[in-house]
Every structure is written in C-alpha cells, then in structure tokens.
Amino acid sequence: MSKHTIVLIPGDGIGPEVTKATKRVLDAAGLSVEWVELPAGAAALEQGYDNVLPERTVAAIRAHKVALKGPVTTPVGKGFKSVNVQLRQKLELYAAVRPVRSLNGVKTRYDGVDMVIVRENTEGLYTGIENVIAKGVVTTMKVATEVACTRIAKYAFAYARSRHRRKVTVFHKANIMKLTDGLFLDCARRVHAQEFPDVVYDELIIDAGCMKLVQDPTKLDVLLMENLYGDLVSDLCAGLVGGLGVVPGSNIGEDCAVFEAVHGSAPDIAGKGVANPLALIMSAVMMLNYIGEATIAERIKGAYNAILSDGRAETLTRDLGGTAGTTQFTDALIAKLK
Ligand code: NAI
C-alpha cells in the first residue's frame, strides 16, 4: 500500500477532539499516511500567523490534493470572513456533497432515508459582498454565474448516474429570485436535457421542498441547490437521521478535495470530551474512497455500523442517547475493527 500525504486542519471548538479521534481510527484501520498538520481560523492567529487562513495551509492542500478538516468558528455579525467560505472559494471546491442516510440502531422518525445533498459551494449569497447603502439600509449581493451553475448541475447529474440513483431534485426560489435562481434552474434543465436525459429530473420551490422533506424524506434522492439553501437544508436533513453527529461531508474541486463533517465547532460542548466524532469519521470514510482505499473504508464502516446496531448506551455518545465520551466511543470503534 502506498503512503498518502494528507493535510490535517484540526480547527477549533470540538475540532481538535474529533480530528484526534478520527486520526486514531484511521491509524488503527491500517491507513499508511503522513499527516501535514496546519491551522486555520483562530488557531492560526494563536500560532503566530497574521491571517485566519494562512497561505501555507492553502498551498499545502493544493500540493497534496486532499485534506481532512475539523470545524472552524466564524464570529457572528462581526469579525473575520468565514474561513470555510474562503477556503472553498480559493480552492474552487465547488461541490459540497453530503450523504444523509438512516443508520441501523439510530432511532428517528423515518426509516430508509437515503439522500445526497449537492450544494453549490462558491457563490450565491456567500460571496460576502455587502454594502451600507444609507444609514439603516444594508444590502447583500447574491451572485449566480452560468459557469458555476452549469458546473454544479453536471456534477449532480454525473453523481446520480454513476451511483445509480433514482432522481435529481432542484430546490429553488425562482418564483421570487427570477434572475439568480432562474439561471440556476435554466442551467440544471439544460444540462439534464442535453447530457443526462436518463436521470429522472424534478424541481421544487424550496419552501414546499422543506415541507416534503419533513413529511416523507424517503421520496427524495439527490438534492441539488445553491449555496445558502444547501447550508440550511443540510442541517434540516441531519435532523431527520439522528443529528449533526452522523452526517459527513466533502468539498470537491477539479484539483483537490477537503473532507469535513456538516457540523460546526459546537462551542456549547467544546473541551468537555463529549463530542460525537462519528460525522468526521464518516467524512474520512468518504476521503478513503476518494483516495482509492475502499478496503479500509469498508473496515471502518463495518465497525461503526456494528456499534450503532449494538445500541449499547456505554458505547454511544450523548447526542445518540448514550453515555460515552469521545474517547470511549473511539476506543469501542477501534475494538470493532476487523
Ligand atoms: P454546530 O454545528 O457547531 O452546533 C449545533 C448543535 O449541534 C450544538 O448544540 C452542538 O453541540 C451540536 N453538535 C454539533 N456537532 C456535534 C457533534 N459532533 N457531537 C455532538 N453534538 C454536536 O452549529 P452552530 O452552533 O450553529 O455553530 C458554531 C460555530 O461553528 C459557528 O461559529 C459556525 O460558524 C461554525 N461552523 C463551522 C462549520 C465548519 O467549519 N465547516 C460548519 C458549521 C458551522
């Protein structure tokens, strides 16, 4: 097995706890890897960098092509621009791919949920172009380009086809944002008609889409949407399958990819040793498949599925109704590796 070089960004809040747990699992499962650990966010400033997203961190991801990332806190209403948004824009990680699946042993309202959110990751309202127009009047600019809308639509349809999925549904608000969401929709329709007529295509105005999601998520499959909608709907969908502790994610570009959980830095539980590392471990499984280590990926999947199916309180974290801390859960997972 060849040795991989992977950039590791521990992040902050629960980030260092869940990245440490994930590294332990990858090591125990036999991944041959050299970690290049570099900071982002407040951690970068603490380590003496003059920037929350040091060029060294970005350059390392460009060079090594793959990163595993813990969450990074973004100040609310003031302070620096989101490191996550900057990273996705700088590296053109244009597709956020977030599988949302029911897990055996995790009790939720629905069984058989199996969706994948494909979120446009580089534009929309996340361009961060905000202006004070007059005293008491501010604006945010939503940007949609034909290039980016077409690129993400192609990604979603190609993903659906290659994985034998039933259908791609676009969530939009083109009844109100006729130009921006209208362009998103036009691009999706054109890509479907010209290149993917074999994939079933559907559209939902996002408000109705959210209602359908909570009524019966098993009716939905691949969900394609612009940046903000993808952000919001990801957490909504996480709530359908057991919460943010069990939903992984990846940010995919042409040249490189950054794997991270959907959840944030969870300041309310940071430093307490109770965070569920499973979402990042599942993101690492996606990373293993991406770098061609499917056997190790299956080994880890088998181990966490066994723990969830056992359903023993002492080996489940609190968000899943158990009593285990991050370390106990990780120890139990490693013990189950075959
Ligand atoms: P959050 O996802 O950090 O937390 C929401 C709720 O879920 C909290 O109650 C938290 O304790 C719980 N939770 C999240 N992950 C968990 C885990 N692994 N195990 C157990 N419980 C977990 O969202 P919030 O509070 O809105 O954001 C906190 C910070 O994280 C903000 O600064 C935000 O900007 C940042 N953030 C960063 C992301 C990233 O780096 N990719 C993604 C989302 C938010």
17-27 pLDDT tens trace: 999 999 999 99
CB atoms within 10 A of CB 123: 21
In this predicted structure, what is the pLDDT of residue 260?
Answer: 98
Mean pLDDT of 276-293: 98
Rounding to the nearest 10 degrees, give the CA dihedral for residues 75, 81, 82, 86: -170
Rounded distance from Cα 266 to ligand 1 centre (Å): 4
Pairing relationship of beta strands 257-259 and 114-120 according to DSSP bridges: unpaired
31-49 pLDDT, tens per residue? 999 999 999 999 999 999 9
Sequence-ordered strand ranges (E) for 3-109: 4-9, 33-37, 66-69, 95-101
Residue range 264-289: mean pLDDT, rounded: 98
Would you place residue 285 in the very low, low, confident or very high pLDDT band (cuts 50, 70, 90)? very high
Strand arrangement of the beta sheet that strand 114-120 belongs to:
33-37, 4-9, 66-69, 257-259, 250-252, 95-101, 114-120, 222-225, 167-172, 200-205
Nearest CA to ligand 1 atom 41: 71
Let me know: does 283 contact 251? Beta carbons within 8 Å.
no
Q: Which residue is closest in CA terms to ligand 1's atom 38?
A: 264
Write down the pLDDT at residue 338: 87
Pocket test of ligand 1: the residue of 237, 244, 274 to mutate, having most ligand atoms within 8 Å of its CB, is: 244
pLDDT tens digits, 229-264? 999 999 999 999 999 999 999 999 999 999 999 999
Which residues fall within 8 angstroms of residue 104, CB to CB, at 6 or more apart?
305, 308, 309
Question: Residue 191 — pLDDT band, cuts 50, 70, 90?
Answer: very high
Active site residue ranges: 126, 173, 207, 231
For the full predicted model, state whether its pTM sits above 0.95: yes
What pLDDT is recorded for position 1?
A: 60
Rounded Cα–Cα distance for residues 275 and 83 (Å): 22
What single letter denotes the amino acid at residue 82?
S
Sign of CA dihedral 210, 213, 216, 219: positive
Q: Which two tokens stand for residue 320?
A: 């899943």
Structural domains in the chain, sorted by start: 1-103+243-338 (3.40.718.10), 109-241 (3.40.718.10)
pLDDT computed for residue 287 by the predictor: 98
Q: What is the rounded average pLDDT of the residues 176-184?
A: 98
The total of other beta-carbon atoms located within 10 Å of residue 62's CB is: 14
131 forms bridges with which residues in the sheet? 139
In percent, how much of the chain has pLDDT > 70?
A: 100
Express each pLDDT in 111-140 by its tens digit.
Answer: 999 999 999 999 999 988 999 999 999 999
Mean pLDDT of all residues in 145-161: 98
Residue 130: in which H helix or E strand, if any?
Answer: strand 130-134
Which of the listed residues 263, 320, 327 should we mutate to test ligand 1's pocket, taking the one with most ligand atoms within 8 A of CB? 263
How much is the pLDDT for 79? 84
Give the position, in ligand 1's atom list, of the atom nearest the Cα of 71: 40
